[in-house]
Chain A
């Protein structure tokens, strides 16, 4: 049981490399290759895996041969995308600071609700007469509309 995921991962990795190798090829071709894999030869697939690994190696080789260029571009890429990720997280309220701010806002809202209900209660206690006066008026208007 335990080595099943491992085997799956291995297959996925191979498909990944095959994907690099097959880039530009029609998806249908690749799917056909997958479909035939179990029964027939895996030659096509292995060939693609080989080409993928080859390409991967070449990319790494190229990067090694121009360390200035490759390393700088890679670092600039990652930094800049990381910066954008941070900004996006803040905008979405996914950073801790933003989450804290959200909590604070919710806290203030809750306190405002309490204050509001208290003020309502005080107002009701201070002005009992207006309410009593208002009640008969409503009753009167109901009568007129029913006629």
Chain B
């Protein structure tokens, strides 16, 4: 890994652990055991680091969010996919936790971030639409639209909720709770006789609990 990538990786880790505002570019250089001058040669301060981190995050997240829009997921894959979405947010949680402050300071990122949330809504709508189409759930268009919004909101704001309400809980457990919360919101819409859906859900919940507690 080259120095530029190392700087990005160390910055992301520090931001996530300490909060972006508490970290200076000198801190980043210290962690990497390089001189502040060396860091400055690659990135002229924290601003370009944050922009680069956001660009990388955005590219990856967009790719992930696009997948179910392009091709419907298998029933059991939906839950695994939710997990990946939450994990994606967790990787970049410093930004989500400090959303308002960071958007005010880096105003050019506001529009891009909003576009990303819009894509989340679209992805969630696509998943709900496919489940309806496949006959596992029966949901009205209005409810589906609202649920997609709610799912996207939960996905976007869970880091804030986590640090405010359940800071003692580990990130993986918090992700698990988030995924399970989404799934349980779908269960009232399960079509009667669609045992496959419930079976997959229960099986997934049990295995997930085991995996998380390990």
- Using CB atoms and an 8 Å cutoff, list the residues of chain A in contact with chain B: 5, 8-9, 11-13, 15-16, 19, 23-24, 27, 30-31, 34, 74, 76-78, 80-81, 84-85, 88-89, 91-94, 99, 102
A77 surroundings in chain B (CB, below 8 A):
63, 66-67, 70
The one of A15, A19, A23, A85 in contact with B77, judged by C-beta atoms closer than 8 angstroms, is A85
Report B60-86 residues with CB < 8 Å from chain A CB.
63-64, 66-67, 70-71, 76-77, 80-81, 83-84
- The docked-state distance in angstroms from the alpha carbon of A145 to that of B204 is 53
Check if B210 sits within 8 Å of A102, measured CB to CB.
yes
11 more CB-based (< 8 A) A-B contacts, given A9-B133, A91-B211, A92-B83: A16-B125, A16-B126, A19-B125, A31-B145, A74-B70, A76-B63, A77-B67, A78-B71, A92-B80, A92-B207, A93-B207
Chain B: number of interface residues, binned into ranges: 20 to 34
Check if B80 sits within 8 Å of A80, measured CB to CB.
no
Check if A34 sits within 8 Å of B77, measured CB to CB.
no
- Using CB atoms and an 8 Å cutoff, list the residues of chain B in contact with chain A: 63-64, 66-67, 70-71, 76-77, 80-81, 83-84, 87, 118, 122, 125-126, 129, 132-133, 135, 138, 141-142, 144-146, 149, 204, 207-208, 210-211
